[in-house]
Amino acid sequence: MIARLITSILLIGFCGGSEAAALSIESVRIWAAPENTRVVFDLNGQVEHKVTTLDNPSRMVIDFTNVTLSNTLPKPVAADRFVENIRKSGETGELRVVLDLKKPAQVHSFQLPPNEKYSHRLVVDISAASQEQQVTQAEESVQIASRSIETKIPDTAEPVDPLADDESPARLPNNSSMRDVIIAVDAGHGGDDPGSIGPSGIHEKVIALTIAKKLVAKINKVHGMKAILIREGDYFIKLRDRMEKARQHKADLFVSIHADSFKDSKVIGSSVYVLSQRGASSEHAKRLAARENASDLIGGVTLEDKDNVLASVLLDLSQTASLEASIDVAERVLGGLKKIGNLHKKRVESAAFAVLKSPDIPSVLIETAYISNPSEEKKLRNPVFQDTLTSAILDGLVGYFRLRPPENTIMANNRDQEHVIGRGDTLSGIAERYQVSLRSLRKENGLENDRIRIGQKLRIPASASIVASESTTR
Ligand SMILES: [Zn+2]
């Protein structure tokens, strides 16, 4: 008995003696992320369990004590990087669940107490076995991410150009010492954490990812800008890790996309938030920050992780500068959103958002609309509105970086720009790439129609602003 106590990872007491009714696993969910796979067991109480990792073939064995399985086990998706199969093993009298692995891996398991969305949970996180493997994994996932951005998202309908062939539009020869402005786009929530849920049942995490992907595609079309998608699919990432990924990619800005909810379903409009260390700008902002920060608890972070988050948040003086930049960007984005519809608050709001606590990267959080309002929920699901919305956000971002480009960037070097027409170029494509209106592009170059020829030089007007609807209705 003593030996058994020692080998058990967790022994929990409140069910009293061995006479207590058997606990059961109500469901099992698998979330496949680029760098880990999370298996979640939904339970009707806390359990005693033991996880053992085995080699040849690689597998993970979870032994449960006094637990029954009430449902069938799910199949991992083919793209899962770690888990090949999940099965029940009948070798012992007690419940044993075996995860057949695609490669050697390490495991971290912990239990979570019930919250408003879930009952008791046992979370099993599976990740690459060694440091070395993790690095390759990360690189691989970055490549996959950028590939999927380029291939999965269809371009908005472009007029057919007689010059165009299969080649992608000619790129300006970039000055190699100049870099792109890098924007990290974060889709809020994910995996176990659905975020807010709209009246029709759609989850905020789904809307946020759709909008984030569209924003990424638009940013990547702008000359001198590059976007990084922080969450690429339906899985959970800790708030702290979201910022960390942005830092790894040397992002100049971190933008987190959300769709808020409120108990009064009449409440509507977009808002833009920045971090505040001194308290929230309104009660509403304070409550919202508390809700968004709960993501880690809902999505599943252990207490030890939580302490690390607090310990490692270095809110030093350098944040003052990035906070000023955050407010500046936020105001510009708010200005863009104002053009397309209702603002919930006319001013940039602030509160203590954990996801924005990056000491060196300006960070903003955009609540695109209220998913709790039936008509806004409908808009959020509509691809046309998603386009308008992302164009408006892009407008704000481009406006900011045109005015305050970071040093050594293409945008800093491109105050007076010229574009040499290449194969596949269209006037509207050029307008979109430099984020200028078609009208101002024609005017600047004295064009009477949209006919252009290869080798022709166009002056790019300095005006940063583009009418949001123009880029979507074209
Ligand atoms: Zn949210």
Confidence tier at 6 by pLDDT (50, 70, 90): very low
SS (H, E, C) 58-98: CEEEEEEECEEECCCCCCCCCCCCCEEEEEEECCCCCCEEE
Residues 98, 185 within the same domain: no
pLDDT digits (tens, 9 = 90+) for 204-226: 999 999 999 999 999 999 989 99
Does 158 reside within a domain?
Answer: no
Provide the pLDDT for residue 320: 53
Residue written as token pair 């007029």: 159
At 230 the pLDDT is: 95
137 in any annotated domain: no
Confidence (pLDDT) at 168? 40
> If you measure from the C-alpha of residue 195 to the centroid of ligand 1, how many angstroms do you get, rounded to a whole number?
5
For residue 377, the CA-to-ligand 1 centroid distance in Å is 14
Query: Residue 343 — pLDDT band, cuts 50, 70, 90?
Result: confident
Q: Is there a domain that residue 352 lies in?
A: yes
Strands (E), 325-456: 349-351, 363-370, 417-420
Residue 426 lies in a domain: yes
CATH of the domain at 195: 3.40.630.40
Domain that holds residue 106: 2-132
| Residue 141 in domain | no
Instruction: Report every protein residue that has its C-beta within 5 angstroms of ion ligand 1.
Output: 188, 195, 258
Q: Is residue 165 part of a domain?
A: no
Residues 419 and 381 in one domain: no
Best-predicted range by mean pLDDT (154-163, 187-196, 309-318, 459-468): 187-196
On whether residue 159 sits in a domain, the answer given is: no
Neighbours of 204 (CB within 10 A): 27
pLDDT tens-digit series, residues 93-102:
788 999 999 9
CA of 292 to the centre of ligand 1 (A): 5
Q: How far is the CA of 77 from the centre of ligand 1 (A)?
A: 26
Q: Which of 99, 132, 165 is the last residue before a domain boundary?
A: 132
Q: How far is the CA of 293 from the centre of ligand 1 (A)?
A: 9
Q: Cβ–Cβ contacts within 10 Å for residue 250, how many?
A: 11
Percent of the chain with pLDDT over 70: 74
Query: Treating both helix axes as pointing N-terminal to C-terminal, what angle do 204-221 and 383-403 enclose, rounded to 10 degrees?
Result: 50
pLDDT in tens, 162-181: 333 333 444 444 445 789 99
Same domain, 221 and 367: yes
In CATH, what number is assigned to the domain containing residue 447?
A: 3.10.350.10
Tell me if 155 is assigned to some domain.
no
Find the mean pLDDT for residues 22-31. Answer: 88
Write down the residue that tokens 């491109």 correspond to: 414
CA distance 341 to 269: 8
Domain boundary among 98, 117, 132: 132
Q: How far is the CA of 19 from the centre of ligand 1 (A)?
A: 43
The domain tally of the chain equals 3
Residue 384 clears pLDDT 90, i.e. is over it = yes
Distance 403 CA to ligand 1 centre (A): 29
Q: Does residue 419 share a domain with residue 395?
A: no
* 328 & 181 share domain: yes
189 CA distance to ligand 1 middle (Å): 6
Question: Are 383 and 424 contained in the same domain?
Answer: no
Each residue of 242-278: pLDDT tens digit?
Answer: 888 998 999 999 999 999 888 888 888 888 887 765 6
462 shares its domain with 440: yes
CB under 8 Å to 296, separation ≥6 — which residues? 238, 239, 305, 306, 309, 354
Per residue in 54-97, pLDDT (tens digit) is 988 999 999 888 888 888 899 998 889 999 999 998 666 788 99
pLDDT computed for residue 271 by the predictor: 85
Q: What is the arithmetic mean of pLDDT over 373-381?
A: 94
CA 259–ligand 1 middle distance (angstroms):
6
Q: Are residues 250 and 394 in the same domain?
A: yes
360/319 same-domain check: yes
334 and 458, same domain (yes or no): no
The CATH number of whichever domain residue 48 belongs to comes to: 2.60.40.3500
Q: Clarify whether residues 266 and 322 are in a common domain.
A: yes
Centre of ligand 1 from the C-alpha of residue 396, in Å? 21
Instruction: Identify whether residues 180 and 84 lie together within a single domain.
Output: no
